[in-house]
Amino acid sequence: MQQQRWTAGFPVSGPGQFPGVRMRRLRRTADLRRMVRETTLTPADFIYPLFVTHGQGVRREVPSMPGVFQLSVDQAVREAEEAFALDIPAVILFGIPAHKDPIGSENFAAEGIVQQAIQAIKAAVPELVVITDVCMCEYTDHGHCGIVDEGWVVNDPTLEVYGRVAVSHAQAGADMVAPSGMMDGQVGAIRAALDAAGFGHIPIMAYAAKYASAFYGPFRDAAQSPPRFGDRRGYQMDPANAREALREVALDIAEGADIVMVKPALAYLDIIRAVREAFPLPVAAYQVSGEYAMLKAAAQKGWLDERRVALETLTVIKRAGADLILTYFAKDAARWLSGA
Ligand code: PBG
């Protein structure tokens, strides 16, 4: 009998080889390909980010993010209705306040912009899951994600503010909160604050492995939140590190996270995969502003086919292990998937 050699469990010579084996047999038609496809996107995978601003009838396009707008509450409601009609189950809200100050007071004001948007969206589309980003950078005059003392973002005093913000979002009707500031202990502090205020049923989606990424550039235009001095490397993760991501995720789970997020997505597929394999929780990945901007810019130049690259990136993010994808393509992708 002929000797079989195997590499990683697969035969490399002998009967299980070409010409007996022909991989192209299952690629011959679209329906054969559909039968053996391992990863399928659905609109239920998507979370649609919305930027909410004061005013009425405002739809201000973000220059570096074509198709993404700063929206007044009435317009955000329209977007939320459209997203839900496309079978997208959730939106995540970012607020652009009227005034910025050192601690970002509008962030936890009962009539703050995000609180108004939550109420209006929940009134119009009650079933839609409304998630809120819990951070300070859009609200603070220095643009950092926490309280600043002598040029340093101080961790523990910031946690108290995050707790107040999360509770005020829950009071306004938010279904889930998503802390993104990368302070140590933020998930535990928010869990405790929510529980103490009677919101034990509100889940936390933790931005657990959030990197100090240049891919957030366009978001900072959209949310008007660039740091006025320094950068975020004193709290967000070093893109060079992977093992550290597993520690971050493990800590967030220990503190009570219900969903853990990796951010950005496409350049961090190895991290998504590692988190997926190490932990049983739902994993979310954020296809961030810069990822969107790159594809949009190339598509506008006619250098890439927008629909195909967008669906390809979303598919591979899911293939890597993400259960949920925060993406500015959510509405378009849902339309494309439905064949429209
Ligand atoms: C707030 C926050 C940011 C993003 C999500 N939440 C900006 C940042 O950390 O600088 C980025 C999202 C994107 O780029 O699309 N901290």
Task: Establish whether 301 is a catalytic residue.
Answer: no
Distance in angstroms (rounded) separating the CA atoms of residues 314 and 295: 12
The CATH number covering residue 330 comes to 3.20.20.70
Q: Which of 100, 122, 263, 296 is catalytic?
A: 263
Q: 216: CA distance to ligand 1 center in Å? A: 6
Residue of 158, 180, 207, 237 best suited for mutating to test ligand 1, as the one with most atoms within 8 Å of CB: 180
Pocket, ligand 1, Cβ cutoff 6 A: 133, 135, 137, 145, 180-181, 216, 219-220, 232, 288-289
In a domain, 125, yes or no: yes
Nearest to 76 by CA among 135, 134, 125: 125
In a domain, 304, yes or no: yes
Q: What one-character-per-residue DSSP string does 178-234 give?
A: EE-S--TTHHHHHHHHHHHTT-TT--BEEEEEEB--GGGHHHHHHTT---SSS-STT
Residue of 96, 135, 207 best suited for mutating to test ligand 1, as the one with most atoms within 8 Å of CB: 135
Q: Range of 230's domain? A: 39-337
Instruction: Output 239-247 pairs: Cβ under 8 A, ≥24 positions apart.
Output: 239/211, 239/212, 239/213, 239/267, 242/270, 242/271, 242/274, 245/208, 245/209, 245/271, 245/274, 245/275, 246/274, 246/275, 246/278
Instruction: Please tell me the pTM assigned to this model.
Output: 0.95
Q: Which helix (H) or strand (E) holds 160?
A: helix 155-172
Residue of 92, 107, 183, 216 best suited for mutating to test ligand 1, as the one with most atoms within 8 Å of CB: 216
In a domain, 306, yes or no: yes
In a domain, 188, yes or no: yes
The pLDDT, as a whole number, for residue 165 is 98
Residue nearest to atom 14 of ligand 1 (CA): 216
Q: How would you write the pLDDT of the chain (340 residues) with one tens digit per residue?
A: 455 566 777 766 666 789 889 999 999 999 999 999 999 999 999 999 999 999 999 999 999 999 999 999 999 999 999 999 999 999 999 999 999 999 999 999 999 999 999 999 999 999 999 999 999 999 999 999 999 999 999 999 999 999 999 999 999 999 999 999 999 999 999 999 999 999 999 999 999 999 999 999 999 889 888 899 999 999 999 999 999 999 999 999 999 999 999 999 999 999 999 999 999 999 999 999 999 999 999 999 999 999 999 999 999 999 999 999 999 999 999 999 998 7
The pLDDT, as a whole number, for residue 327 is 98
Q: Which of 100, 122, 210, 331 is catalytic?
A: 210
In a domain, 19, yes or no: no
Q: 193: CA distance to ligand 1 center in Å? A: 23
The pLDDT, as a whole number, for residue 192 is 98
Residue nearest to atom 5 of ligand 1 (CA): 180
The pLDDT, as a whole number, for residue 125 is 98
Tokens representing 53 are: 């601003």
In a domain, 186, yes or no: yes
The pLDDT, as a whole number, for residue 130 is 99
Residue nearest to atom 2 of ligand 1 (CA): 180
Q: 302: CA distance to ligand 1 center in Å? A: 28
The pLDDT, as a whole number, for residue 225 is 85
In a domain, 96, yes or no: yes
Atom number of ligand 1 nearest to Cα 138: 1
Helix (H), strand (E), coil (C) string for 40-60: CCCHHHEEEEEEEECCCCCEE
Task: Establish whether 210 is a catalytic residue.
Answer: yes
The pLDDT, as a whole number, for residue 14 is 64
In a domain, 111, yes or no: yes
Atom number of ligand 1 nearest to Cα 289: 15
Number of domains in the chain: 1
